[in-house]
């Protein structure tokens, strides 16, 4: 089990809108405070460093599983023409190919996010901090940085990402969460490259300004852009850092300005936010507050899949039409976030549509519960197959499932107390004879405080499972050995963090693509 982060005092940075006439000093701006975290050279924590290696394994695992998927093949095709020396590698491409780092980050970030199957952090907002890994890995390879600098950069990126997501809610205002990602990536790159605080500050401003977009990417008919959006943020952050290194400035204050982010896109000119940041000299342990996924679905569905699997034993024949007919209704009592984002409270008819995209189905807890109850398992491909989604008995069961908000689950979702924080719910199944079956689960089995916390062997198993048939066994061993030695890798050894793919296994995906501007 992962060690609990040690409690240490955090600096509560208060953020509020400042009129231009007041000329808010940089030292009081959030972007400057974040840049200082990036440039502080905090001491390394052993548990946090080990977790970085785990997440590098996790990212590669889900990337390998997505190699044949069309959005990933498209991103790979877009990146290939942008050759550069030294350059960076692309997951699934010829190992000898090197492209400019921002395009490598684009292709690799899409591969990592496509299946929505890597790590997560949920607080005032939500996030996938592992999205920081592709852009930092690409830049590290391009500049010849070693594993120690990459590790430090990733610790900073996770720390900043967790702090922003803890303190500032974006989704309430329908702003996509990649705005926090781009700031975290800029900070991580600043640490990786050992840049001055001034340069990182300017890069943060540019990155946030260029990656603020609406949440429509995760609403209604969810398209493949859901996978591209974080990759775009990583690519934009690399470009922002490059411009800042060349002396270019950014809109400022990016968060506190009277025509800025908070004043017009978030809670308005009277808003106040508190972002918790580590004190100078404290190790960066934010990554230990994050958690990965055992199942390929939205994180709020993780505990509910586990709950459905456990309740299935009480529902003999649920995987048949006759068994499904015995169900009168299923109601999930859960948090505001789960109800309104992936539940019936979203008021998205697409969440009940058997012809909906995979991206939509993995944001539909009614669908996920129906399949998990019937199959007693969850698979990153089979559970989303159109034939599986369209099965008549599944559709009938699916349409009997609704969600409601329970204030107690909402309170626990937002609780700062780790013994109270929860992302699950209570499932009530009413049979046609009036029998009511009910059970609840607060945390996914794989959560650090769950029944089966993910440890290094679990990350390795996930990688081997998802890389099967895509990465030869010898290449799997090379990658896992490199990831385990992350902190000691030289710049020349970083390419080992890109598993060698059997190109015959994914050739059909590349061959099926039409050309574009980049050819």
Query: Could you read off the pLDDT of 200-252 as tens digits, one per residue?
Result: 999 999 999 999 988 787 666 767 888 899 999 999 999 999 999 999 999 99
On whether the CB atoms of residues 483 and 498 are closer than 8 A, the answer is no
Please tell me the predicted confidence (pLDDT) of residue 419: 85
Dihedral angle at the C-alpha atoms of 246, 247, 249, 253, nearest 10 degrees? Answer: 110
Element (H, E) at 483: helix 473-484
Q: Report the first-to-last Cα separation within the chain, whole angstroms.
A: 48
Q: DSSP 3-state assignment of 380?
A: coil
Torsion over CA: 410, 413, 415, 420 (sign): positive
pLDDT lower than 70: segments of the chain:
1-8, 218-220, 222
DSSP state letters, 207-256: HHHHS--BGGGGSSS--THHHHHHHHHHHHHHHHHHHHHTT----SSTTT
On whether the CB atoms of residues 79 and 103 are closer than 8 A, the answer is yes
Q: Is residue 25 exposed (0-12), middle (13-18) or buried (19+ Cβ within 10 Å)?
A: exposed
Distance between CA atoms of residues 354 and 395, nearest Å: 7
Please tell me the predicted confidence (pLDDT) of residue 1: 42
Q: Position of tokens 């982060």?
A: 5
Structure tokens at 46: 């052993």
Interhelix angle for 178-193 vs 147-167, to 10°?
150
Please tell me the predicted confidence (pLDDT) of residue 3: 46
Q: Position of tokens 């955090």?
A: 10
Q: DSSP 3-state assignment of 331?
A: strand
Q: Where are the alpha helices (DSSP H) in 168-212?
A: 178-193, 197-210
Please tell me the predicted confidence (pLDDT) of residue 416: 81
Q: Where are the alpha helices (DSSP H) in 26-177?
A: 30-39, 46-65, 70-79, 101-113, 133-143, 147-167
């Amino acid at each position: 089990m992962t060690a609990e982060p040690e409690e240490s005092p955090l600096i509560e940075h208060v953020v509020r809108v400042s009129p231009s006439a007041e000329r808010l000093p940089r030292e009081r701006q959030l972007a400057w405070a974040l840049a200082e975290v990036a440039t502080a050279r905090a001491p390394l924590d052993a548990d946090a460093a080990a977790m970085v290696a785990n997440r590098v394994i996790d990212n590669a695992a889900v990337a390998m599983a997505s190699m044949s998927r069309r959005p990933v093949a498209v991103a790979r095709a877009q990146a290939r023409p942008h050759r550069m020396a030294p350059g960076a590698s692309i997951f699934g491409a010829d190992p000898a190919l090197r492209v400019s780092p921002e395009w490598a980050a684009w292709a690799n970030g899409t591969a990592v996010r496509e299946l929505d199957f890597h790590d997560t952090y949920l607080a005032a907002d939500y996030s996938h901090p592992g999205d920081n890994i592709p852009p930092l890995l690409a830049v590290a390879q391009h500049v010849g940085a070693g594993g120690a600098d990459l590790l430090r950069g990733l610790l900073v990126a996770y720390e900043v990402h967790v702090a922003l997501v803890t303190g500032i809610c974006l989704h309430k205002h329908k702003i996509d969460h990649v705005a926090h990602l781009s700031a975290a990536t800029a900070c991580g790159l600043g640490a990786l490259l050992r840049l001055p605080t001034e340069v990182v500050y300017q890069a943060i401003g540019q990155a946030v300004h260029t990656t603020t977009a609406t949440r429509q990417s995760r609403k209604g008919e969810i398209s493949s852009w859901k996978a591209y959006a974080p990759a775009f943020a990583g690519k934009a952050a690399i470009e922002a850092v490059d411009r800042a290194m060349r002396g270019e400035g950014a809109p400022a204050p990016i968060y506190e300005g009277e025509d800025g982010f908070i004043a017009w896109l978030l809670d308005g000119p009277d808003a106040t936010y508190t972002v918790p940041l580590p004190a100078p000299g404290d190790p960066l342990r934010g990554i230990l507050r994050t958690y990965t996924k055992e199942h390929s679905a939205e994180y709020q569905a993780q505990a509910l899949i586990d709950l459905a699997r456990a309740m299935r034993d009480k529902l003999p024949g649920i995987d048949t039409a006759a068994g499904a007919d015995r169900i009168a209704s299923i109601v999930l009592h859960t948090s505001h976030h789960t109800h309104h984002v992936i539940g019936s409270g979203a008021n998205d008819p697409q969440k009940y549509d058997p012809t909906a995209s995979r991206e939509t189905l993995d944001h539909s807890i009614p669908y996920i519960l129906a399949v998990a109850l019937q199959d007693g398992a969850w698979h990153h491909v089979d559970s989303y197959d159109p034939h599986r989604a369209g099965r008549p008995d599944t559709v009938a069961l699916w349409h009997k499932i609704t969600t409601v908000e329970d204030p107690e689950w909402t309170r626990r979702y937002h609780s700062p107390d780790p013994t109270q924080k929860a992302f699950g719910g209570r499932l009530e199944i009413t049979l046609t004879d009036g029998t009511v079956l009910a059970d609840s689960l607060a945390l996914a089995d794989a959560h650090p405080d769950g029944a089966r916390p993910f440890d290094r062997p679990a990350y390795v198993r996930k990688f081997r499972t998802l890389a099967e048939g895509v990465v030869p066994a010898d290449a799997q061993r090379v990658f896992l050995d490199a990831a385990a030695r992350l902190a000691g890798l030289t710049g020349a050894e970083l390419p080992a963090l890109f598993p060698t793919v059997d190109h015959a296994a994914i050739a059909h995906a590349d061959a099926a693509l039409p050309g574009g501007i980049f050819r």
